[in-house]
Amino acid sequence: MTASQDWLREGMLAAGLVGLLLCSMFLATGSFPPMVVVESGSMMHDLDDGAVGSIDPGDLILVMNPNRVEIITYVEAKQVGNENYGYESLGMEGDVIIYRKNGGSDTPIIHRALLKAVAETTAPALGGACTAGVYDGLEDICVLTWSVPGTNQSNVEEISMTLDYSCAPHGNLVIDSWVPNHEGYLTTGDNYRTNGCTIDQLRATSSDADEQWIRSRGLKDENGNPVTAVRDIWIEGISATEIPWIGAIKLFVSGTSSSVTSKSWSNLGLLFASVIAAPMLYEAIIENRKTDSDEEE
């Protein structure tokens, strides 16, 4: 067999292994692509070095199909007596979801689901309008009251509550007389400096603020509109297992690696060194054992 044939065989074997791995992950997660690369630091817990177990720039995240698993919100995981009490994912209570801002086509957001506003009482809309409640144009219904699973907010016209979510030194996160535009999730990043109590749907914490203030501070979609509650159909997946550091390679190639910490680069280098050294070490051990065996004979 010639050298070129050897290279071809090795290349086909490598491609086959990659394909097998992708197919296996697709079958396991029900999503394609089955993983995403984290680009920003909005979910960081350790803001200097990053941490295994939470989401940092350069991490790969396996993405579960939302039709396969139930989304558990932060408030459900914090409510004593709730069947999901104590549930944690990626370093904190509640699930981390991947969603499209207002259903748009720009880069999806990977943030934690704090709570879900559920339409409790509804009525048919008349000619695209409502005499009471809020008009949901997508569902063509009028939502009269709301409930929030995992809280005491049940069948209310507006949602007002204080979450067990620290905004130190300013107390806890407060949802202030919020009337959602439609059913959906409130979300935020775990990074307490850039996100945390500055949630994605800023209107929920600032019901009296004018629109200009909301637009100047809150998360916006590709058209510059403030992000509203995340509908189920906007959810791309639920974050599952974290694979640290590997995605930094993709960010480096695409020129978007500025958020990757120096510690992550160091850990990635150590990982590569280990991968390269492992087969060499294994071969040396096998060779030594073979030599010892020959000497004994």
Q: Which amino acid is at 73?
A: T
* Bridge partners for 119 per DSSP: 146
**Do residues 152 and 137 both lie within one domain?**
yes
Distance CA 226, CA 203 (A): 8
pLDDT interval class at 71 (50, 70, 90): very high
Whole-number average pLDDT of the chain: 88
d(C-alpha 220, C-alpha 271), whole Å: 37
- Say if residue 95 is in the same domain as residue 168: yes
Question: Looking at the structure, do residues 9 and 83 belong to the same domain, yes or no?
Answer: no
Provide the domain limits for residue 11. Answer: 1-30
12 and 157 share one domain: no
User: Which tops the pLDDT comparison, 9 or 222?
Assistant: 222
Q: Which residues on adjacent β-strands are paired with residue 134?
A: 143
State the Cα torsion 204-210-216-219 to the nearest 10°.
20
Q: How many CB atoms lie within 10 A of CB 272?
A: 13
**Mean predicted confidence (pLDDT) in 35-63:** 90
When divided into structural domains, the chain yields a total of: 2
Give a yes or no: residue 290 inside a domain.
no
What's the gap between Cα 15 and its chain centre? 29
Residues 12 and 144 in one domain: no
Average pLDDT over residues 111-124: 97
Contacts of 183 (CB under 8 A, 6+ apart): 116, 117, 118, 119, 136, 143, 229, 231, 232
- Omega of the bond leading into 279 within 30 degrees of 0 (cis): no
Q: Note whether 230 and 118 are same-domain residues.
A: yes
- pLDDT tens figures, 164-199: 999 987 889 999 999 999 999 999 999 998 898 999
Q: How confident is the model at residue 145 (pLDDT cuts 50, 70, 90)?
A: very high
